[in-house]
Amino acid sequence: MAPSGKAELAAEVWQRLFDFIIATAGHRNKVLGRYELTPNDSRALFALDGEGRTMGTLAAEWNCDASYATSVIDRLEAKGLAARRDRPGDRRVKLAVLTAHGSKIKHALRREIYHPPPELLALDTADLKALWHAAEKLKPSAT
């Protein structure tokens, strides 16, 4: 039986979602392992594009020190997935950008990691539509 209060219900839903994400981590880790990437490497890969990001903006997004963001970008750069470029108009600022190889790997990861786990595929269409509608309303807040 579902909790009757909204806060309790939200807490129960969050716990179930979180437990499901943790329980299905093996699939994600297996995919990342094939590309010799850590979860933080993949987070960085998904945060980068052709426009580039400064270490400061990455660190703020990840809630970490710029030195840690630099170390993650260093790993991607060593694998040929990212590169540092001068910011147009200000050579003092370096931008981390995806390389062509990085874009290719990012696309492959998106395809493989976003493949639904068997538990989702086992749900009937009505349940999947209800989950889709609920998930559509969830917007991560900027912190």
Percent share of the chain, pLDDT over 70: 98
Structural domain for 60, as ranges: 10-136
Amino acid at 45: L
pLDDT tens figures, 27-71: 999 999 999 999 999 999 999 987 899 989 999 999 999 899 999
Q: Is residue 4 part of a domain?
A: no
pTM passes above 0.85: no
Per 3-state DSSP, the chain is made up of helix, strand and coil in percentages (nearest 5) of 60, 10, 25
Rounded to whole angstroms, the Cα distance separating 44 from 66 reads 13
CA max distance for the chain: 60
Q: Is residue 141 part of a domain?
A: no
Rounded to whole angstroms, the Cα distance separating 21 from 27 reads 10
Rounded to whole angstroms, the Cα distance separating 96 from 109 reads 19
pLDDT tens figures, 93-110: 889 999 999 999 999 999
Q: Is residue 45 part of a domain?
A: yes
Q: Structurally, how many domains does the chain consist of?
A: 1
Residue 44: CATH number of its domain? 1.10.10.10
Q: Is residue 48 part of a domain?
A: yes
Degrees (nearest 5) of the Cα angle 13, 16, 17?
A: 85
Q: Is residue 68 part of a domain?
A: yes
